[in-house]
A = this chain, B = another copy of it.
Amino acid sequence: MNIPQIPKGFRDFLPQKMSVRKRIISLMTDVFESYGFAPLDTPCLEYAETLEGKYGEEGEKLIYKFEDRGGRNVALRYDLTIPLCRVVAAYPELSKPFKRYQIAPVWRADKPQKGRFREFYQCDIDIVGTDSVYADGELLAITDTVLKKLGFDNFIIRINNRKVMNAFALNSGLAAEAVTPFLRSLDKLDKIGAEGVLKDLRDAGLLPPSLEKSLSEFILTGSADADSLSKMAAIAGATDTGAAGMAEMEKIRETLQACGVSESNYRFDFSLARGLDYYTGPVFETIVTEPKIGSITGGGRYDNLIGLFSRTPVPATGSSFGLERLVTVMEEKMSAGNTAGSTEVLVTCFDEALMAENLRLASMLRSAGIRTEVYFKKTKLKKQLSYAANRGIGLVVIMGPDEVNDNRVTLRNMVSGTQETVLQNKMTAKIQSMLSAK
């Protein structure tokens, strides 16, 4: 006998969990499409070299790689961004700007722990082929729309800009090759705190006095107010790139205001580094503060990434929703009473000799758009009713020989426990009114 188990970090989703996942995905899809995004799907398996060298040292170790029977080195998809870059390079005929969404599993051989899995879904939106920062702003407006529609009010979209941070680092006395290590230290802020970041930089010899002063004054403090902005403008804005980055941040603010995003739901934050090295402009992430579930989206502009697959560089920006944390919260919110997509009516079996009648009634109900199951076996009615109760089916149709002779059926409301008998030709209308009264 095989033991019915699955590898650690992988999951089965039974119907109740699936119904929450499907509802979130369907809501996201509707929002994405309302902004003109179109679906894309890519293989779960890519050539290993397509993924290698894209995710940094740590990420590289987590790629599921293997040799197929033909001796090819292949790998399970690690994210949805690199496959998109490959697609854009492979199909230059795609009309630009190309706005696509992809909602699909990715795999990482990470250490499984609470809330972290080896197989999990990403929900990505990307705009490819425009360097307009309004595109970045739109991604954030979409984030706002999705979260609001899911019923979240307390979240903050944190926004920073790599052009600003690069100029800031250089103008604070760091060498060009020190910028990435600087951002990597900054990225650890959540884990090691402000003192930790300063120590990290000091130990690495990357903390000139002016940098230390700025970090303490208006960077490691998080949220950037008007004063922080003008301090940053004075340092980063001294070079063209930095000034351009500051202007981009203002355009993002303009976009969010025009799209009706509340000021309480976003903020500029110079402490936001985002781990990946490939970002070139705006970077962003969203934190849900109530309930406290942490980061649920992340992304940024990556104007040089598609160039790894194509002679023609193509600008692009994207944002990724992590489905798993959203699901955890939504499962509680949706909890009881969530019967979307599930069976509405059970037609019970009094006697198998009446099965043809039962099947006919069920077909009638389905034709009227009512989700209907037939119980296939003659068993005690009590057992059939308890099946309906377990499945959360609210209405049961009972038909014995008396009812058949009278062209009637008995309808049982499983919530109230009441029953009534109606003519078969009135059954559909009666059930429709009972369902809509719920």
Q: A: which residues have CB within 8 A of B?
A: 1-7, 10-15, 18-19, 21-22, 33-36, 38-47, 49-50, 64, 66-69, 72, 74, 76, 85-87, 89-91, 94-95, 97, 99-100, 105, 107, 109, 118-119, 130, 132, 134-135, 138, 141, 145, 254-255, 257-260, 308-311, 341-343, 346, 355-360, 363, 366, 369-374, 376-377, 387, 390-391
CB neighbours (8 Å) of A358 from chain B are: 258
How far does the alpha carbon of A432 sit from the alpha carbon of B35 in the complex, in Å? 17
A45: chain B residues at CB < 8 Å are 6-7, 10, 76, 107, 118-119
- A33's partner among B4, B68, B141, B342 (CB-CB below 8 A) is B342
Which residues of B are found within 8 Å of A372, using beta-carbon distances? Answer: 34-36
User: Are A10 and B43 in contact, CB atoms less than 8 angstroms apart?
Assistant: yes
With the chains together, A5 CA to B310 CA distance in Å?
11
State the number of copies, please: 2
- Identify which of A4, A38, A138 gathers the most chain B CB atoms within 10 Å of its CB: A4
Q: Which residues of chain B are within 8 angstroms of A377 by Cβ–Cβ distance?
A: 130, 132
Kindly report which residue of chain B lies nearest to residue A306, judged by CB atoms.
B4
Name the B residues within 8 Å of A259 (CB-CB): 359-360, 363
Minimum C-beta distance from A115 to chain B (A): 17
User: Which residue of B has the minimal Cβ distance to A94?
Assistant: B14
Contacts of A359 in B (CB 8 A): 134, 138, 141, 255, 258-259
List B contacts of A41 (CB < 8 A).
Answer: 12-13, 18, 21
Known: A39-B22, A45-B10, A66-B67. A5 touches B90 (CB 8 A): yes
Main SS at interface, chain A:
mixed
Question: Mind listing 19 A-B residue pairs with CB under 8 Å?
Answer: A2-B308, A7-B74, A12-B87, A14-B40, A14-B87, A15-B38, A15-B39, A18-B39, A45-B118, A64-B68, A95-B390, A134-B376, A138-B376, A141-B363, A255-B359, A258-B359, A258-B363, A259-B359, A259-B360
Residues in B with CB closer than 8 Å to A254 are: 355-356
Query: B90, B95, B258: which contacts A356 (Cβ < 8 A)?
Result: B258
- B residues near A374, Cβ cutoff 8 Å: 134, 138
Inter-chain contact A6/B43, CB cutoff 8 Å:
yes
- Contact, CB under 8 Å: B310 / A4: yes
Q: How far is the CA of A41 from the CA of B371 in the complex (A)?
A: 21
A373, B95: Cβ atoms closer than 8 Å: no
Q: Verify A311–B1 contact, CB threshold 8 A.
A: yes
Residues of B contacting A343 in the complex (Cβ-Cβ under 8 angstroms): 33, 36
Q: A33-B341, A355-B258, A359-B134 are in contact. Are A38 and B18 (CB under 8 A)?
A: yes
Minimum CB distance partner of A47 in chain B: B7
A171 nearest CB across to chain B (Å): 28
CB of B4 within 8 A of CB of A371, answer no
Query: CB within 8 A of A4: which of B21, B36, B86?
Result: B86
Output the least CB separation between A62 and chain B (Å): 9
Contacts of A3 in B (CB 8 A): 309
Given the known inter-chain contacts A12-B40, A15-B38, please indicate yes or no for A69 contacting B2, CB distance below 8 A: no
A109 vs B66: C-alpha distance in the bound complex, in angstroms? 14
